[in-house]
């Protein structure tokens, strides 16, 4: 449940990559409930349609929000650029770009193929670059907000996660360079680093057993998994006037887990 009581994003347009499930869908729903017109992007047309239906069923019309979807692979620049241009043509300049597409699977370096490593780098780093580069000409300037959903892997090394650590480090530095380059245009670029968020594909893969879930909870000082609403509320802050002076920041939302160190979190 959002902690924001008013329609703080009424009339704004959002484009969300990776918006068909997990954190991306949770954020997309929150944006729409706060009055934004939200275009979600994903590769699978069936999942895309289901996600749009879920957002529409949340009662967004009462707040003036809308939801629609466009299928495109973030790794394909031309396809993604066409999808973003379609969003602009349908609703106007884009106020919010959320880069949420990501890949993950646990594997040691010696048990990971070159294609497996490349796949995560392509989805995370190339996909984020493609979204930002293609969206730039369609962003409202000044006033737009770009947020990438990243992870603490950018600064904390995790065993079995070399590909993700490398990818998230790339995403973090990319967004910070954009904060420098686009800040003078009035476009803000920030990152959100979730911790273990319940009811997501990432947690189902990284903590597939009751024992693994218990160990993950133990690694969080607050003693619980995060929720998709926890992340959505932080994104809402960054995209609203409340976060108007935030640019180039890395906003950790992990219950303090990163403070425990790599061994506790691995």
Residue 190 in contact with residue 181, Cβ under 8 Å? no
Q: What is the pLDDT of residues 160-169, one digit of tens each?
A: 999 999 999 9
Task: Locate all alpha helices (DSSP H) within 200-250, ordered by sequence.
Answer: 201-206, 210-218, 228-239
At residue 88 the predicted structure's pLDDT band, cuts being 50, 70 and 90, is very high
Phi, psi of 13 (to 5 degrees): -115, 135
Whether 87 shows a pLDDT value over 60: the answer reads yes
pLDDT at 63: 65
Of 62 and 215, the one with more pLDDT: 215
Average pLDDT over the chain reads 93
- 69 DSSP assignment: E
pLDDT of residue 200: 85
pLDDT for the residue numbered 1: 59
Answer yes or no: is pLDDT of 243 > 60. yes
Instruction: Yes or no: say if 138 and 85 are a contact pair by the CB < 8 Å rule.
Output: yes
Q: What is the pLDDT of residue 22?
A: 95
- How many whole angstroms separate alpha carbon 103 and alpha carbon 127? 11
State mean pLDDT over 114-143.
Answer: 98
Distance CA 197, CA 214 (A): 13
- Mean per-residue pLDDT, 158-180: 97
pLDDT at 59 over 90: no
| Angle at CA of residue 188, ends 190 and 228, nearest 5° | 40
CATH topology of domain 13-265: Rossmann fold (3.40.50)
Q: What is the pTM of this model?
A: 0.94
| pLDDT tens digits, 191-241 | 999 999 998 887 787 778 888 888 889 999 999 999 999 999 999 999 999
C-beta of residue 40 within 8 angstroms of C-beta of residue 14: no
The domain ranges of the chain are 13-265
pLDDT band at 265 (very low <50, low <70, confident <90, very high): low
């Amino acid at each position: 449940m959002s902690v924001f009581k008013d329609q703080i994003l009424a009339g704004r347009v959002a484009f969300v990559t990776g918006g068909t499930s997990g954190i991306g869908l949770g954020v997309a729903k929150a944006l729409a409930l706060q009055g934004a017109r939200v275009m979600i992007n994903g590769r699978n047309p069936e999942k895309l349609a289901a996600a749009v239906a879920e957002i529409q069923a949340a009662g967004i019309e009462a707040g003036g929000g809308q939801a629609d979807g466009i299928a495109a692979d973030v790794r394909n620049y031309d396809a993604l650029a066409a999808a973003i241009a379609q969003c602009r043509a349908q609703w106007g300049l884009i106020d919010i770009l959320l880069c949420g597409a990501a890949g993950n699977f646990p594997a040691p370096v010696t048990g990971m193929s070159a294609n497996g490593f490349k796949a995560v780098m392509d989805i995370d780093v190339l996909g984020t670059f493609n979204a930002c580069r293609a969206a730039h000409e369609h962003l409202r300037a000044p006033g737009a907000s770009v947020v990438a959903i990243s992870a603490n892997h950018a600064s904390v090394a995790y065993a079995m996660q070399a590909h993700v650590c490398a990818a998230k480090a790339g995403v973090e530095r990319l967004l910070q360079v954009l904060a420098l380059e686009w800040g003078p245009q009035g476009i803000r670029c920030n990152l959100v680093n979730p911790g273990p968020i319940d009811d997501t594909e990432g947690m189902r893969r990284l903590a597939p057993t009751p024992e693994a879930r218990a160990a993950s909870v133990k690694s969080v000082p607050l003693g619980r998994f995060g929720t998709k609403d926890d992340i959505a509320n932080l994104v809402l802050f960054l995209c609203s006037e409340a976060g108007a002076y935030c640019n180039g920041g890395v906003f950790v939302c992990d219950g303090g887990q990163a403070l425990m160190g790599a061994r506790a979190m691995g």
